[in-house]
Amino acid sequence: MRVLGIGASPRKGNSEALLDEALSVPSIAGEKINLRKLTLNPCLSCGRCEREPGCVFKDEISAIYDRLYDFDGIIFSSPIYFGSLAAQAKVFIDRAQFAWAGRHLLPRPRGGKAVLLVVAGMRKRPDFFRNAEEIFKIWCICLGLEYRGGIYFPGVDAVGDLTADQRRRAREAVRLLCQGQGGSPPSSVEIGEQRNSS
């Protein structure tokens, strides 16, 4: 199984460490992209991609989206800042407009599966991950990716705060990508536990 890991951490911190754990599972062929190392041009809402295929920016983000459908699964990791994904993640997701338009102008096969890993210092707010999850779900829908769930890590702030159990749970992302469909997702979960698609 070919898996693309997309890391949105602005530093080499906990969310990237969890992504590395997930990509270390021997049963997959993993490739990682760090958004912080790229030139992140934000969407201009110019509408060019609705008239013709492609983005007005011929940059590294465009190249990633061009390859997105070559992978069987995607693991996306980000810290939570002010109740949402990191700015690097949001710029990358907003740029999906040209990929969404391309699917309608030039229909492509349905994409693979996707899992979200998110880390937050906040521990006591059970809704702290909700906004990030909804943004990621919409991204999956627009790109024809099957959202397979999220794994959430509250109370993780300083670099190196991760426990052995949290690292183990990060590797569960691969199981979510590989597992077959079927069964009903839980209606609610405790914060920090795995959440399935709904």
Tell me the per-residue pLDDT of 9-54, one tens digit each, with 9 for 90 and over. 998 888 999 999 999 999 899 999 999 999 989 999 998 888 887 8
- The whole-number pLDDT of residue 126 equals 66
Domains belonging to the chain, first-starting first, are 2-178 (3.40.50.360)
Tell me the per-residue pLDDT of 111-131, one tens digit each, with 9 for 90 and over. 688 888 887 776 667 677 889
Q: Write out the two tokens for 170.
A: 């990060």
Cα dihedral sign, 32-153-94-9: negative
Q: What is the mean pLDDT of residues 61-89?
A: 91
What distance lies between CA 104 and its chain's CA centroid? 22
Q: Write out the two tokens for 5.
A: 């890991």
Q: What is the mean pLDDT of residues 146-172?
A: 84
The pTM of this model reads: 0.83
What distance lies between CA 159 and its chain's CA centroid? 20
pLDDT range class, residue 180, cuts 50, 70, 90: low
- The whole-number pLDDT of residue 118 equals 83
Q: What is the dihedral of CA 9, 147, 65, 30, to 10 degrees?
A: 70
